[in-house]
Each structure stands twice: as C-alpha cells, then as structure tokens.
Structure 1
Amino acid sequence: MSPSGSESPSASPTTTAEPATALQDALTKSAEAKTASGSMHFTSKGKIDARGTWARQNEPRLLTAKVNQLTLNGKPNPAQPQIIVNGDNALVNGGGLIPNQGNTWWRVPLDNLPGERGKMISDLLTSGRLQDPATIKEIAAAHKDVQNEGEEEVGGQTVTHYSSSLDTQEAAQAAGLPTPTASPGNWPKTLRVDTWVDSSGMVKRQQFRNEEGGQPFNLNLTVKDYDKPVTVQTPPADQVKEVDQQTLKNLLGE
C-alpha cells in the first residue's frame, strides 16, 4: 500500500502489508489529508475525565481542541476550556477553569514559552513538523512490536486494529525535536498505542496509554471526517489580551 494519496485500495491493509508497514502507511496517508476532525476523550488516574472535539488543518496551519464535558477529582465541572493554535500563536480560554479569566482569551506566543516543557510545546506546535506527512512517516518507525489484533468495528465501519509501543525519545528524534527527559514525573519513555485503520488505509481511531510511574493517562482520538472544511470561531479582538510571563509559567508548571 502506498501513502501517495492515490485512489484508495479496496483491500484491507491486513491483506496488503505486514503490520509495521501497514501502520506506517496508514499514519502517513492520514497525515496527507488536508483537514481532519473528530472527538477526543482524556482520562488521568481518576483525577481528570475530559471529553470534547478536535480539528486540524494543514494549510494554513491550524489546530483546535475544546472540552465539552469535564470531571475533576470525581466531580462534574461546568468548565469548557478551549485552545486554538494558529501559526505561531495560541489562543487559550479556560471556559471557567482558570480563575479570574472571565471571557478573556489569552494570546500565547508559542516561540517564547519558558522552561523545558514550554520549549517542547513550542517546537511541537510552531514547527509544523507534526503535520508534515514526511515527519509522520519517520515518527511511525518509532512504533515497536506492531501487532495485527484483527478486525473490529469503529463508528459502524469494519477496521483493522494494530497495537504497538511508541518509544517517545526515538519519536522526538525522528521529528527533529529535543529529546524529552523520560521520568515518571515528567514524560513516559514508552506509550502503548492502539490504532484502528479502515479498508481505505485511513486511521479512524487512536488510543495512547501511559502505564509508567504514578501518572498514568489514556487519550482516545476518533476521526469523524477527513478533507472536509474546518470552521473555527475565533474570539473578537476586544476579548483577547497578551498573557503575562508569570501566568504563563504557572500554567506550564514552571
């Protein structure tokens, strides 16, 4: 199977390639789509349960995510935080989660984030490399022990389920990013990844699990649409202000 974006094959990736190649091709081909959008679900050790939507657009570069349903420490929270990444700037609104923010959106210059964590976020979001199919293909090679787990159903479609382990340090190097410091309190060395691929070789769902140390988490991303227009409602100019450095350090835990 070729990630060239040509006409989708009728055969399942299960029958056209061994698991590691099929997974790499699917991740690359999916990254070639001009747009993608879907739903997300993040959980962390019973402390956070967040459900919402996400969307990306390659040209011009745009990423957005919004939480629509939030539970913190087992209690429902009405906050609906949202982030819009547009080029080298992010617009952040806590939606009631950040004290004293109100309806104000913070404009965060991504090329000047403080600390090691800020540097990594900056490199991830401003370089555009994570939306570059060539980079995605390199990162896909960091998936180890890829296994074909058989056919399942996602969103009413029959898909092929692949399991793998993602070496985060190797993935960072493949993307040309600073190698994260792997530690239980900072960043896991390995993520368990499950990927579901449809018969046309496109990713329909991915699940990332950190099972290391004291900060396990689970992130599910489901794709609803590829190559359909992405509409993002940006806030009026009078609701946007620059974030101060101390607030930024607090947000990043620096």
Structure 2
Amino acid sequence: MLKRRISLATAAAGAALVAVTVAGCGTNAQPIQVNLAASEVLTQAAQKTAEVTSYTVDAVVDVKHPQEGSGKVQGRMLYQSKPQLAVDLTIDTIDMGGKGLPGGARAVLQGDAVYVKVEALKQLVGAEKPWIKVPLTEVGGPGEIKTYLDQIQQFDLAAVTKMVTASQDVKAAGNETVGGVDTTHYSGTFPVDAAVQQLPADKQEAARSNLAELKDIKFDIWVGSDGLPRKVALNGAKEGATMDATLLFKGFNEAVNIQTPPADQIGELPKNVSN
C-alpha cells in the first residue's frame, strides 16, 4: 500500500510525531561546556530544542526494500509555535519502487485545519480546487488523506533529538562545519523501544508503529556550541530493508512566513470520501 511505503520511507525522520510537541518560550542558549560527556551533550540538546519556537529543516530519506525496491522522499519544512502553531511542508520528491508522485505535495497547518495540495490526491477524492481543507478533527480520516498529512509529523526537531538520548554508546567523532556553523559530531546507536519511551506518552504508539520495521538505529548528530543540532543522520535496517535519513536544521527562533492558501483556491474534503 502507498501509505505503508511512504511511512517506511519517512519513519526515521520523526517517527510520526505531531508537530505541536515542539513548543516553548524561546531560548538564550549558552555554549555547551567542552568537557561534558557525549551523553550529557545529547541531554542538553534535547532540552534546548524543546525551547525552540521556529526553525527550517531540509530532509532527504532513502530506502531500499527487498520486495518494493528503492525509494526516496525529499522535502523541507518551516515551523513556528508562536504566536500560533503553524507548519508549511513541501515534499518535492516522493518516489517509491519506481512510482513517483508528479508535482510532489504540500501541506500547511494553520489554526484548526490542514491545507493539502496534491494533484494525485485531488484526482483520487474528486476535489474541484487545488487545495483541500481538512479540519484537525478529521486528520484520522481517509487513508490516502492521512498519508499526506502524516508528512507534517516527520520532520520534528524536538522528537528526533529526544530519541537519540536513548543511546548508550554515543561518542564524540570530531569537529566539523555544517551550514557555516562550527559543530561537534557525535555518533552512536539507539534501540527503537528505548527511544520511543523518551517521547510523550500520547505519541509513543504512533512512533512505535512507524519504527516497527527497523531494529537498532545508528545516528550521527552535529551540535553547535549553542547546544542546538544542525544536522542529524539516521540509518536503520531490518530483514533486508534499509533506510537512510538526513535532516539539516537552521533558522532557529527566526521569523518565518507561513500563510494559508488563497480562499478561492481552497475546497472542502468531499463528503462522499469514506475512511
């Protein structure tokens, strides 16, 4: 199924976590002390990312599956938690087993609704306008609709950083520059079960379901002197399937411009679409 394939491709990028888990009151980050143990650095990074109110992330996820072949998901997301929660996600590439999604996809979360723009989805549900408005109360609705809405939940800064704190073998791996920022590179692994337990209770079930196709996950994280991660790479494998995800973070606490589509381009979800 399309939903399952896309879930496999994007699971490592955020474990199907709702974007509202990243919220806070801003941060006056202090430099991380160089003598901290690697595990302490990860703990501090998780604390600091929970205070971030806005950021931009670029992500690429590559997968290989014995039966379904190779696939790739590539996109970027703007996020803000203040003055109100808003997300603008663009998926430029969704290609699974040689089956792509022409035109990609875009989703904007604003207020009490998600606005989705996918040409293939438009044809599937019979929408008459470029954008489909889906109230948050109906996010768990039709399978194909939820597939695209789930993409909003895959690029979560706080969730990814929190999960790596489950590592028992993290170690420093040198100093590198990422996006013009001097960082320290840390490397390690984390068991899926332990990582999921680091998340809020109401997010664990979805995360566990999406990571079920993976075993232990290898990670690399590049942390700046302010304690915030600039890059995260995740690699997982199980029963011949592999997944490699790379996320680049920038623009922490900077103003972002997230707007809903023009009203004349928005249609409602057709009433005849069933779950």
Q: Do Structure 1 and Structure 2 share a fold, with TM-score over 0.5?
A: yes
Quickly say closer, same or farther: Cα 1:35–1:149, change in 2 above 3 A.
Answer: same
Give 3-state SS (helix, strand or coil) of 2:170's partner. strand
1:150 pairs with 167, 174, 182, which one? 174
2:187 pairs with 149, 163, 177, which one? 163
Q: Any idea what the Cα deviations from partners look like across 1:175-198, whole Å, max 9, x if unmatched?
A: 112435867995435433221111
The residue correspondences of 1:15-164 to structure 2 (distance < 5 A) are 15-45=34-64, 47-59=70-82, 60-69=84-93, 71-73=95-97, 78-94=102-118, 96-98=119-121, 100=123, 103-112=129-138, 113-114=140-141, 139=163, 141-164=165-188
Letter in 1 for 2:77: W
Give 3-state SS (helix, strand or coil) of 2:47's partner. helix
- Following TM superposition, by how much is the alpha carbon of 1:7 offset from its aligned partner in structure 2, in angstroms? 4.8
1:5 pairs with 27, 36, 51, which one? 27
CA–CA separation in structure 2 for the residues paired with 1:240 and 1:234: 9
Query: Gaps spanning 5+ residues in structure 1: where?
Result: 250-254
Letter in 1 for 2:60: H
Letter in 1 for 2:73: A
**Runs (4+) off by over 6 Å:** 135-138
Q: Any idea what the Cα deviations from partners look like across 1:93-117, whole Å, max 9, x if unmatched?
A: 11x343615752222334441599x
CA–CA separation in structure 1 for the residues paired with 2:240 and 2:135: 31
1:206 pairs with 232, 247, 265, which one? 232
- Following TM superposition, by how much is the alpha carbon of 1:63 offset from its aligned partner in structure 2, in angstroms? 2.2
Letter in 2 for 1:5: T
Q: How many residue pairs were aligned?
A: 233
- Following TM superposition, by how much is the alpha carbon of 1:208 offset from its aligned partner in structure 2, in angstroms? 2.3
- Following TM superposition, by how much is the alpha carbon of 1:37 offset from its aligned partner in structure 2, in angstroms? 0.8
- Following TM superposition, by how much is the alpha carbon of 1:44 offset from its aligned partner in structure 2, in angstroms? 2.0
Give 3-state SS (helix, strand or coil) of 1:179's partner. helix
Identify the residue that residue 11 of structure 2 maps to in structure 1: none
Across the aligned residues of Structure 1 and Structure 2, the Cα RMSD in angstroms comes to 3.8
Quickly say closer, same or farther: Cα 1:230–1:74, change in 2 above 3 A.
Answer: same
Whether the 8 Å contact between 1:181 and 1:187 is mirrored in structure 2 is no
2:251 pairs with 221, 225, 228, which one? 225
Letter in 2 for 1:176: A
CA–CA separation in structure 1 for the residues paired with 2:194 and 2:271: 31
CA–CA separation in structure 2 for the residues paired with 1:136 and 1:223: 11
Give 3-state SS (helix, strand or coil) of 1:98's partner. helix
Letter in 2 for 1:200: D
Letter in 2 for 1:67: I
Give 3-state SS (helix, strand or coil) of 2:44's partner. helix
Identify the residue that residue 236 of structure 1 maps to in structure 2: 262
- Following TM superposition, by how much is the alpha carbon of 1:32 offset from its aligned partner in structure 2, in angstroms? 1.2
TM-score normalized by structure 1?
0.72
TM-score normalized by structure 2?
0.67
Query: Gaps spanning 5+ residues in structure 2: where?
Result: 1-25
Greater RCO, CA 8 A, separation 6+: 2
CA–CA separation in structure 1 for the residues paired with 2:210 and 2:49: 31
CA–CA separation in structure 1 for the residues paired with 2:272 and 2:238: 31
The percent of aligned pairs where both chains have the same amino acid is 23
Q: Any idea what the Cα deviations from partners look like across 1:64-103, whole Å, max 9, x if unmatched?
A: 2102355554587641311222344322111x34361575
Whether the 8 Å contact between 2:142 and 2:274 is mirrored in structure 1 is no
Quickly say closer, same or farther: Cα 1:219–1:110, change in 2 above 3 A.
Answer: farther
Does residue 175 in structure 1 map to residue 194 in structure 2? no
